Every structure is written in structure tokens, then in C-alpha cells.
Amino acid sequence: MKQPKISVIIATWNGQSYIEHCLDSVFAQSVPENFKDNTKESYPFFEVLVIDNGSDDNTLKIIKEKYEDKVNIVKNKTNQGFARGYNQGMHWTSGRYLLILNQDVVLDKNYLKETASFLDAYPKVAAVNGKVYQWNFANKIKTDIFDSLGIDINKNFQFTNIEENKKDEGQESEIRSIFGFTASVALIRRAALLDVEYNKEFFDEDFFSYKEDIDLSYRFRWRNWDNVYLPTAVAYHKRSIKEGDDARANIAVAKNYKQKPKFINYLSYRNHLYLMHKNIGINFFINNLFYIIWYELKKIIYLLFTHPKTLTAWLEFIRNRSKLREKRKYIKNNRKINPKGINLWIK
């Protein structure tokens, strides 16, 4: 069997409502003329691996009935989380590029061709983020409202989805570098993943789920890889956890916390602490000291009165400090850019 150019990896968990839409869009992808048709026997352009994280609905039944001759399936007995699930897929595939695809995403027919061609042309790009719109799943409508064009980093060490909830009026029609990619539908270069691998992990499995894409984006940046927004690659995402109208505004952030399940709030807050300890540089901290401390203080006060159990994430953070310190040391000893280089991405 020839090595595929792209390995499409989908980690599923109770995704029976979405999986047909997602996989149908994958197998409807346009294939470059120099590749044969996709078959089980030969995957010259792309292969598909589904990692099921212990679904207890009909997700696997649907996949086996409709796509068994087209996909490889691995079933985890329990939910291993986003990070570990996709790490498994990265180790168990062989494509030069890997599409990290959420189960609630549908692709435009040229998504793979556009993103793979870009990575072919620019060998120092680690990850390509397409133009991702919101998918109104309830009404089966593909909207012109942005979901995410990548990730921005702000002075207070807050990370936001670029142009989220804004209408597409032609304002994002140019290719550009972005601080980080969003892992709902990113094409990633395997060579870049191998370059930042730590203890056989690409995504940090201590994160379990949420913000592991920001952490990996940071590590790409430390090793002088680029992350790029490509507007000609289009996809649609039904975001399960929706942000406020403006995620930078305090009221919207508070509203967003209220809408999220408690466990997700806990993971998000804990992983934010992990991100800070692993990646925030002294130069960044000193230059933005007021913004960081003020933002973190407001967050603690808000959580204290509304979601006090979320603050127990500090206990887990303290327990894992030695492990995080080792990861931070590894990143520092192997980085290729000066910490001041990260400051160039601050919004």
C-alpha cells in the first residue's frame, strides 16, 4: 500500500448526529489529477482513520454500515480525551500531512487539495487553518458567519478565535500568518509534529481536552515553524461550546462561562494555568504584567462567586508543577527563537 499524502483523523464521541455529514464531505473531496481514486486497497491521496472515544450511541454503527470499506476504525473503551485520541491517530497513520478533523465539521470539496498544495509550496509552515464558518446544524444551513480563522494571543494572555461571530464581508480574503491554528479542522505537517514531539506526545495529553491546540501552536512557534490562515480552504463547524458575541469583552466572557458545562469550565481554566506555566516568557510577563495580573484577578473573583469548584484546578496545577516544569525546561532548551519573537503576535 502506498503511503498516503494526507491522513484524515477523526476522533469521535457520541457523534451520531454529525458523522455522516462529516464523512460524506471527506469522501466528496476533489482529488488532484496525478492521484488515483481513493480505495481501501490504495490511498495515494488520503486515508481516513476514526478513533472512537467510547461512544455509547450509534456513531460506530453508522460508520460501519456506510463507510466500513473506506475507513479504518479504532475503538477506545473509554473517553481518552481529545489530545490522546488524536495522538493515537497520528502514531497509527503514515501520511505526510495530517488533517485533525472534528466530527461536527463539514468540508468544502477543495479543502484537502487547497491546504495540501499550500504545505507543498511552503516547507516552513507547520499548520494551515482554513476559512471556517459556523454551521447552523439545526437548520442544516452553512452560514457566512465566521467560526474561527485561527487563534490570536492578547496582552493579558487570553486567546481568542480570529473574527469569531463576525459576518464575512470580504475582510479576510488574504493569506496571512497567524499565531496559532484551531484544531477543529487544521492540516498539519508531520515533520513539524515530529520536531516538537515530547515523550511521544504531539498534543500534550495532560490537557485531556481544550486549549491543546494553543499549546501545540506555541511549541511550533518556539521552534520557528509558521502557522497560516488560507482563505481558499473553506469548512463549516457546528461549535458545541459557543463563545460570546465578542470573546474579548468581560461581559461576554462571563456569559460564556455560564453557558458551558462545569467540567469544561474546569478543564479550560486548568489548561490555561498549564499554558502559562509551560510557555509564558519572562519578557512577555514583564511587558504585560498589568494586563495579565488584572485579567487573572478578575477571573478569580468571578469564579469565586459563581463557579468556586473551578478554582480547585489550582490544586491539580500544583500537583503537576514538577512535570510542567520539566516540559517548560525542554521547550526552553530547544527553542529556536528569542522570547521577544512571541511578542510580535500580541494583539
Per-residue pLDDT of 251-267, as tens digits, reads: 555 555 555 678 899 99
Percent of the chain with pLDDT over 70: 91
Percentage of the residues of the chain whose pLDDT score is greater than 90: 81
Q: Where are the beta strands (DSSP E) in 80-220?
A: 97-101, 105-107, 125-136, 141-148, 151-153, 159-161, 176-178, 185-189
Average pLDDT estimate for 52-69: 94
- Among 6-15, 31-40, 94-103, the range scoring the smallest mean pLDDT is 31-40
Condensed to tens digits (0 to 9), the pLDDT of residues 145-194 reads 999 999 999 999 999 999 999 999 999 999 999 999 999 999 999 999 99
Distance between CA atoms of residues 311 and 300, nearest Å = 7
pTM as predicted: 0.91
**Full set of structural domains in the chain with CATH:** 6-237 (3.90.550.10), 250-343 (no CATH)
Burial (0-12, 13-18, 19+ Cβ within 10 Å), 46: buried
CA distance 219 to 197: 9
What is the predicted pLDDT for the residue at 38? 56
The residue among 198 and 35 whose pLDDT is bigger is 198
Residue 59 is predicted with a pLDDT of: 95
Distances in whole angstroms, Cα of residue 329 to Cα of each of 85, 203, 270? 26, 17, 20
Provide the pLDDT for residue 20. 97
pLDDT at residue 3, rounded to an integer: 83
**pLDDT, average across residues 81-98:** 95
